[in-house]
């Protein structure tokens, strides 16, 4: 097994990869103690059963990742990942680059009827007829040297991926669904997917309290937490968890003594920079003028959902998923169906390939232009004459 630890060796491998139609890629990283993932290992394999497969050690002192980023920008070689979102975030944060062209076998598998968020092991078993040894899954990948078992585990994530990719790419080409996959991958290569604006961090905090003043304090506490976590590269939960944030928004501490009465706040957050930031955030939330108070964003909870229409939409979705061979969750979420039944129309399921598969008929169903009929165990769409 070859481990690349120098820039020259990485450049040589990436140059060879540029002459290939595709290269498979995976990463190993740590994130438990940091905000940003720490890249610890990159695995890559060239096409063919005997194609070269290597491990790249980004922790090596004599290694620059620039040759890899240059390969990512090379348009002639498809970069193949499985469940690429976290991998792409790492490369975007560290190298300000996205691999293009990109192929994600998890996305492709959902389009090809393998179910929702299908795992790599499942695809390897069903397509490559092989088994993946996951005994090294919980390795601390920052420790050196790596054992033989760890290296074999890491390489298996890119060697079997070659067979999976070729099978799925061929199936998608036969079905004429390449544009569907590209539409999904466009989200993965959008910087906005990985950029968390501290001013919008409060939108991720779940609360049933719709008070504008309460939400203003939540917004400021979430803004401070996100800024502190990003700046100091620590997980949000190490600053304070959501339950503590909501407690603080409710109790509104005005000084350190009041802050110390919190039941849920970590000890480290009761003093120093974090404590000062909490008190400043609470004060800022209390000072927001009434006209500028935020409004609840959980509007769907108060939607007037027509339950009969929602049930019909679920039946239609199940039928469309089965007939198209596309995972239902990829076409529309349960929340999307409820929103449709409540009259909302600005939804992903009504655009692009989703509209073709489901959205257009969903709108017709909502407007009474079509109905559903059960025949021989199948659901059929029936057009209704006005």
In angstroms, rounded to a whole number, what is the distance separating the alpha carbons of residues 91 and 60? 17
pLDDT of 132 reads 85
SS (H, E, C) the chain: CEEECCHHHHHHHHHHHCCCCEEEEEEEEECCCCCCCEEEEEEEECCCCCCCEEEECCCCCCCCCHHHHHHHCCCCCEEEECCCHHHHHHHHHHHCCCCCCEEEHHHHHHHCCCCCCCCHHHHHHHHHCCCCCCCCCCCCCCCCCCCHHHHHHHHHHHHHHHHHHHHHHHHHHHHCCHHHHHHHHHHHCCHHHCCCCHHHHHHHCCCCCCCHHHHHHHHHHHHHHHHHHHHHCCCHHHHCCHHHHHHHHHHCCCCHHHHCCCCCCCHHHHCHHHHHHHHHHHHHHHHCCHHHCCCCCCHHHHCCCCHHHHHHHHHHHHHHHHHHCCCHHHHCCHHHHHHHHCCCCCCHHHCHHHHHHHHHHHHHHHCCCEEEEEECCEEEEEECCC
Which CATH topology does 2-193 take?
Nucleotidyltransferase; domain 5 (3.30.420)
Residue 242 token pair:
């959501």
CATH code at 300-383: 1.10.150
- What's the length of the chain? 386
**Phi and psi at residue 207, to the nearest 5°:** -150, 150
State the first-to-last Cα distance of the chain, in angstroms, to the nearest integer: 69
Instruction: Enumerate the CATH 3.30.420.10 domain ranges in the chain, comma separated.
Output: 2-193
Instruction: Enumerate the CATH 1.10.150.80 domain ranges in the chain, comma separated.
Output: 198-292
Cα–Cα nearest to 240, from 264, 217, 261:
264
- On whether the 198-292 domain is CATH 1.20.58.100, my answer is no
Query: pLDDT tens digit string along 301-321?
Result: 557 889 999 999 999 999 999
Query: What global pTM score does this model have?
Result: 0.88
**Phi and psi at residue 249, to the nearest 5°:** -65, -30
In angstroms, rounded to a whole number, what is the distance separating the alpha carbons of residues 65 and 254? 48
What tens-digit pLDDT sequence spans the chain (386 residues)? 789 999 999 999 999 999 999 999 999 999 999 999 999 999 999 999 878 999 999 999 999 999 999 999 999 999 999 999 999 999 999 999 999 999 999 999 999 988 887 899 999 999 999 988 877 777 899 999 999 999 999 999 999 999 999 999 999 999 999 999 999 999 999 999 999 999 999 999 999 899 999 999 999 999 999 999 999 999 999 999 999 999 999 999 999 999 999 999 999 999 999 999 999 999 999 999 999 999 887 554 557 889 999 999 999 999 999 999 998 988 999 999 999 999 999 999 999 999 999 999 999 999 999 999 988 778 888 888 75
Query: pLDDT tens digit string along 22-81?
Result: 999 999 999 999 999 999 999 999 999 878 999 999 999 999 999 999 999 999 999 999
In angstroms, rounded to a whole number, what is the distance separating the alpha carbons of residues 111 and 189? 18
């Amino acid at each position: 097994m070859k481990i690349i630890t120098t820039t020259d060796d990485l450049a040589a491998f990436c140059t060879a990869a540029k002459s290939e139609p595709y290269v498979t890629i995976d990463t190993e990283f740590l994130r438990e103690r940091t905000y940003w993932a720490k890249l610890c290992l990159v695995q890559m394999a060239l096409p063919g059963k005997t194609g070269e497969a290597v491990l790249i050690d980004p922790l090596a002192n004599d290694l620059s990742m620039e040759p890899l980023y240059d390969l990512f920008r090379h348009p002639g070689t498809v970069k193949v990942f499985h469940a690429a979102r976290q991998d792409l975030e790492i490369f975007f944060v560290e190298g300000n680059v996205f691999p293009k062209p990109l192929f994600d076998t998890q996305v492709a598998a959902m389009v090809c009827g393998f179910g929702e968020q299908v795992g790599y092991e499942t695809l390897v078993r069903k397509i490559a007829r092989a088994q993946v040894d996951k005994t090294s899954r919980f390795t601390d990948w920052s420790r050196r040297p790596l054992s033989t078992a760890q290296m074999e585990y890491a390489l298996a994530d890119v060697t079997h991926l070659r067979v999976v990719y070729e099978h799925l790419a061929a199936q998608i080409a036969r079905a004429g669904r390449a544009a569907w996959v590209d539409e999904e991958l466009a989200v993965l290569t959008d910087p906005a997917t990985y950029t968390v604006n501290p001013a919008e961090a409060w939108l991720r905090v779940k609360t049933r309290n719709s008070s504008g003043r309460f939400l203003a304090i939540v917004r400021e506490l979430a803004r401070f937490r996100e800024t502190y976590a990003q700046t100091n590269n620590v997980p949000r939960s190490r600053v304070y968890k959501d339950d503590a944030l909501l407690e603080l928004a409710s109790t509104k501490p005005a000084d350190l003594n009041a802050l110390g009465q919190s039941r849920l706040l970590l000890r480290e957050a009761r003093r120093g920079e974090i404590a000062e930031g909490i008190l400043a955030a609470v004060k800022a939330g209390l000072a927001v003028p009434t006209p500028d108070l935020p409004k609840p964003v959980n509007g769907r909870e108060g939607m007037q959902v027509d339950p009969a229409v929602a049930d019909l939409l679920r039946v239609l979705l199940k039928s469309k998923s089965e007939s198209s061979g596309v995972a239902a969750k990829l076409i529309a979420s349960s929340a999307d169906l409820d929103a449709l039944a409540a009259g909302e129309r600005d939804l992903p399921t009504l655009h692009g390939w989703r509209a073709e598969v489901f959205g257009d008929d969903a709108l017709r169903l909502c407007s009474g232009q079509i109905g559903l009929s059960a025949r021989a165990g199948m659901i059929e769409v029936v057009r209704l004459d006005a």
